[in-house]
Amino acid sequence: MATIRDVAKHAGVSVATVSRVINETGYVHEDTRKKVETAIKELHYTPNEVARSLYKRKSRLIGLLLPDITNPFFPELARGVEDEMQENDFRIIFGNSDENMKKEKEYIQTFVQNNVVGVIASTNHPDTDTYRKMNIPVVFLDRTADNRPSVFADGREGGRIAAHEMIARGSRQITVMQGPKHIRPAQDRYQGAVDVLSKEGIPFNVIMTSSFSFTEAGTWAKELFEQHPYTDGVIASNDIVATAVLHEALRLGKKVPEDVQIIGFDDIPLSSLLTPSLTTIRQPAYDMGRAAAQLLMQLIENENIDHKTIQMPVTFTERDTTRKVDQHG
Q: Around 15, how many Cα atoms within 13 Å sit in the side-chain half-sphere?
A: 7
DSSP label at residue 54: H
| Helix and strand counts by DSSP (H, E) for the chain | 12, 12
Q: How far is CA 122 from the centre of its chain?
A: 6
Under rule CB under 8 A, residue 253 binds a copy of itself: no
Among 2, 32, 33, 68, binds a copy of itself (CB under 8 A): 68
Instruction: From 14-22, 53-61, 156-164, 257-265, give the range in contact with a copy of itself by CB under 8 A.
Output: 53-61
d(CA 266, CA 252) in angstroms, rounded, equals 25
- Near a copy of itself by CB under 8 A: residue from 194, 240, 293, 314: 240
Integer Cα distance of 231 and 247 in angstroms: 15
* C-alpha of 95 from chain center: 12
Rounded least distance, CB 141 to a copy of itself, Å: 15
Closest contact distance (angstroms) between CB of 84 and a copy of itself is 12
Of 8 and 64, nearer to a copy of itself (C-beta) is 64
The reply on whether position 43 binds a copy of itself by CB under 8 A is no
Q: How far apart are CA 239 and CA 237, in angstroms?
A: 7
Residue 15 interacts with a copy of itself (CB under 8 A): yes or no:
no
Q: Mark the segment that binds a copy of itself (CB under 8 A) among 69-77, 144-152, 194-202, 222-230.
A: 69-77
Looking at 2, 202, 208, 250, which residue binds a copy of itself (CB under 8 A)? 250
Report the distance separating Cα 306 and Cα 53, nearest Å: 29
Residue of 3, 32, 48, 191 that binds a copy of itself (CB under 8 A) = 48
